[in-house]
Amino acid sequence: MQASPAALAAALVFGALLLPLNSSAQDRALTRASSYADSLSAESKHTYSLSVGQNRYVYGFVDQISVDVVVRILGSDGDLLYTFDSPARGPESFQFLTSEADTYTIEVTPFEKAEGRYSISLVTDEPRASRPARLVDQLMQPYSGDDRPGAVVSVLKDGKVVLARGYGMANLTNDVAMTKDTGMSVASVSKQFTAMAILLLQQDGKLKLDDDIRKHIPELKDFGTPVTLRNMLNHTSGYREVLNFLPMAGWSSTDAMTRDVPIRIVQRQATLQNAPGAEYNYNNTTFMLLATVVERVSGMGFREFMEQRIFQPLGMTNTTIKTHQGQVIPNSSQGYSHAREGGYSYVTDFASAYGASGVNSTASDMTRWMLNYRDATVGGEDAIRQLTTRGVLVSGDTTGYALGLGVRKYRGQTLYSHSGGETSHRSILVYFPEIESGIFLSSNHPAFNRGMWTDIAEAFFSDSFESEPEAEAEDEPATDVSESKPTAAQLEAIAGTYRFVGAPLLIDYTVENGALFAQATNQPRFSLRATSDSTFTFVGVEASVTFHYESDGSVKRGTHHQGPDTPLEKIDKPALTPDQLRAYEGRYISDELETIYTISLGDDGRLMAHHIVNEAFPLTHNESDSFSGGAWYLSTIEFHRDPSGAVSGFMGSNTRTRSVWFRKLIP
């Protein structure tokens, strides 16, 4: 079979001949001399071996021609090192740095059992730059050039700007390059600015953090318990999350939204999702409402207040607020997504989401904001202290989130951080107050990798970091390996599906070749490393799990450790007969959302959910009347029955929005 002209053209660009292959071929050597074209079926897992020397920079991509893929990089020991899963079409870039020589496995699998064609190419395998600024240039290769959306980066070290640079293009149509002074939506990085605005108004004596929100927006629903501004700033309010709630009704993140939508969402909410202060649950609704508080209390527009009270005093002269769809902000980047037919398409970022988002800033200006954590020019030391003090739940547990800002330890240093992502723009800000150093990254590229900040931080600040703990030598274990590692029988006892108690999420634990893997609802699959016969750490994620053995050696319970501990319950997933599945058929309406889903049994025996706007998706039975939905916005569906046993409705949930009631309509 001869390579197509398009494939040969791609080969000329990247210096490799594209080789069509049988989809069953496995473990092919990937080099710059050859690329591969292939097809994935729903259950495919294609692997490629890549031998790389020490201290190298590696960059390649999988072109998602007609299938959305997940790319994972594994070391020779089988440990999962990196996962790349951003756009649904176009190049899925992968890049990493090596310390030691190794043979890596690149694993390509379909996202959510999709099917279609892809190609894979290795673009760069070159010596890792020794100079930090040059290393940034290497890491920015996927976003450099005049044919693709770009990125900006600024680095603050010891209180001084040591790097501020743009890469790629701010606007492809008009051939405008990205620079350090190009404006970009920083998305949810905006939340810390909104928090500062509230603190400034508290200093003015116009409000208090512990005010009930209804003091300032009285038309919000009274749930019988106060929801304070502090609850809203640290994501413990119990309100619906607008960006996870409205998609249940077919809303898109690019749809225009009026400022009264968050108010109407709360007005129609049946009950709080949790008691205020009882649970951390990331929430954009609350920050949009807080922007309304700023406007009502100050008597100024949100943009005017932010410019006069925060941006101008800090010299952030190229920073403003996007307040409405179609707003022209001079010298700002255009957002892009990958077009299914190839290339890029214009996209519009969130409209009228200011407060939760909305700040449009530059690489240069964001370093001025970082320095405010040191100098306290805006707000003073008391505001900075409050802004960076982590929230405490009513249980006494401390969260990892302060007021619009994440706060934790990283390699021995205190770290303030927040990431942001809209329909195109991706941003992250990290600041180490004890060494007066930080990094800001932002991009209008749909596949931008914000995780590279750790490599940049290592390059610039490694002298200030604690050494990472060395792994114990395999020939000198701390304890007897036979006593500390799980046996094959124990792994089989652990394997199964577990439900997060109190959260609409399931996680499947499976065993492959003597190793444990985990995959939560609509999430990537991760490998786990055993630290004892009952404890495991997730590879590539700051999480771990403990399984609890019963007296007979079986496992029915576990505890997930990631922030607050979450209990796990093992569940059975019995197969249902067609007659049992037909009991769930019908039309279901949410009065809260004013939207309808139709549940029906398809010819293939699968229960399907249909909506007038959203695409149909399958339901997978878990236990009893509980199902997993094949859409992120309805990831869990729990059917309810009336006293006669007939299905009367269901509760729909996702990771941030829980228990939305859909009652069954009588035919």
Same domain assignment for residues 228 and 340? yes
Same domain assignment for residues 417 and 486? no
Enclosing domain of residue 507? 481-571
Percent of the chain residues topping a pLDDT of 90:
67
Give the 3-state secondary structure of residue 479: coil
- The pLDDT confidence band at residue 376, using thresholds 50, 70 and 90, is very high
Same domain assignment for residues 9 and 121? yes
Alpha-carbon distance 289 to 457, whole Å?
Answer: 35
pLDDT, position 501:
84
Same domain assignment for residues 10 and 82? yes
Same domain assignment for residues 408 and 497? no
Q: Is residue 402 part of a domain?
A: yes
Backbone angles phi, psi at 629, to 5 degrees: -90, 145
Backbone angles phi, psi at 10, to 5 degrees: -65, -35
Tokens linked to 465: 């970091």
Same domain assignment for residues 520 and 400? no
Q: Which of 540, 571, 602 is the last residue of a domain?
A: 571
Same domain assignment for residues 363 and 219? yes
Report pLDDT digits (tens) over 508-536: 899 887 889 998 876 777 888 888 889 99
pLDDT, position 79:
81
Q: Is residue 276 part of a domain?
A: yes
Q: Is the pLDDT of residue 11 over 70?
A: no
Q: Which of 571, 606, 627 is the last residue of a domain?
A: 571
CATH label of the domain that carries residue 47: 2.60.120.380
CATH label of the domain that carries residue 389: 3.40.710.10
In the chain, the number of structural domains is 4
Work out the number of other CB atoms within 10 angstroms of the CB of residue 641: 12
Asked whether the beta carbons of 238 and 272 are under 8 A apart, the reply is: yes
Report pLDDT digits (tens) over 419-443: 998 877 999 999 999 999 999 999 9
The pTM of the full predicted model, rounded to 2 decimals, is 0.83
Backbone angles phi, psi at 65, to 5 degrees: -65, -50
Same domain assignment for residues 431 and 547? no
Separation of CA 214 from chain center: 31
For the segment 207-217, the average pLDDT, to the nearest whole number, is: 98
Same domain assignment for residues 270 and 409? yes
Length of the chain equals 667
Same domain assignment for residues 629 and 517? no
Same domain assignment for residues 516 and 412? no
Which H or E run includes 291? helix 284-298
Q: Is residue 175 part of a domain?
A: no
Q: Is the pLDDT of residue 380 over 50?
A: yes
pLDDT, position 258:
85
CATH label of the domain that carries residue 536: 2.40.128.50
Alpha-carbon distance 507 to 570, whole Å?
Answer: 9
Same domain assignment for residues 542 and 441? no
Q: Is residue 162 part of a domain?
A: no
- The pLDDT confidence band at residue 484, using thresholds 50, 70 and 90, is low
Q: Which of 461, 489, 505 is the last residue of a domain?
A: 461
Closest to 442 measured CA to CA, from 183, 54, 146, 82: 183
